[in-house]
Amino acid sequence: MKRNNSEFLQFQKEFKKCQIGFGLNGYQVYFYHEDLGDNFADINVIQNKRVATVRLDTKKHADCNIKKSAKHEALHLLCAKLQDCALKRYTSEEEILEADEELVVRLQGLIE
């Protein structure tokens, strides 16, 4: 069954809410509503350009929740800098510690 546009708008709204709540306002985010095969949603982040592409599948998935999925993808954005450092061939200890501290401070703000 095909997903309607209001669900896609709800997904975007929830993602943006999480983006603001997680303090990730420095990213330009683009949303797409397209066929993802077996995936419900995904995100691709280009960390050095601070650009994220978030996609929601056009098909309904019985076991997936729009709000939880948007939050899940926003959490991937939250971890993007640390992941980017970890995937680089030459990453300094300082870069990893900085990315780790940034993530911890943001999580701390959410928990308090």
Domain segments of the chain: what residues? 5-111
pLDDT per position as a tens digit, 45-97: 999 999 999 999 888 776 778 888 999 899 999 989 888 888 877 888 888 88
How many CB atoms lie under 10 A from the CB of residue 70? 23
Q: What is the pTM of this model?
A: 0.84
Distance in angstroms (rounded) separating the CA atoms of residues 88 and 16: 28
Distance in angstroms (rounded) separating the CA atoms of residues 92 and 68: 34
| Topology of the domain covering 5-111 | Zincin-like (3.30.2010)
Classify the C-alpha dihedral 64-68-70-72 as positive or negative: negative
Predicted confidence at residue 14, as pLDDT, reads 95
Helix H or strand E segment including 42? strand 41-46
pLDDT per position as a tens digit, 22-52: 999 999 999 999 998 888 899 999 999 999 9
